[in-house]
Structure 1
Amino acid sequence: MLIIPIKEGENIDRALKRYKRKFDRTGTKRQLQSRKQFLKPSVANRAQKQKAQYIQRLRDLENI
């Protein structure tokens, strides 16, 4: 549970902005989306390898 202390005389918009920023940084949204549907470990590993290959390909093209 995220707790955002509101200071005396602070604007509610500013507090909401701090809440949204903290929510994004903690990774809560990604965690909720990943728990929504089960993903087999083999599929997750394959996706991770494909992502690593893609990033490596981009870095190789950058160095050329």
Structure 2
Amino acid sequence: MTKVFVRDGEPIDRALKRFKRKVEQAGILKEVRKREHYLKPSIKKKLKARAAEARARKREKRLFQKGLI
């Protein structure tokens, strides 16, 4: 549970900004979006494999640009 205490004389906008930053850092919105819809295990597996392939391509591209490959 993310909590933000409003300090004396602090504008509500600033407190809201701190709250949003804490929520983002905690990864709460990311988790909510992930749980919003049910995904079958087979779909999760495919998505995970695609993400791994994308990371590998990105890593390869970076190494190629650096001249290591």
TMscore range, shorter length:
0.7 to 0.9
Q: TM-score, normalised by structure 1?
A: 0.83
Q: What stretches of structure 1 move > 4 A for 4+ residues in a row?
A: none
Cα deviations by residue, 1:20-44 (Å, 9 ceiling, x for unpaired): 1011111221222222210012211
Matches within 5 A, 1:1-64: 1-64=1-64
Structure 1, unpaired ranges of 5+: none
Q: Which has the higher contact order (CA 8 A, sep 6+)?
A: 1
Cα distance between partner residues in 2 of 1:43 and 1:17: 36
**SS, match of residue 37 in structure 1:** coil
- The Cα of 1:63 is off from its aligned counterpart by 1.3
Report the residue type matching 1:52 in the other structure. A
% identical aligned pairs: 34
Structure 2, unpaired ranges of 5+: 65-69
Q: TM-score, normalised by structure 2?
A: 0.78
Q: How many residues align?
A: 64
Task: Please report the RMSD computed on the Cα atoms of aligned residues, expressed in angstroms.
Answer: 1.3
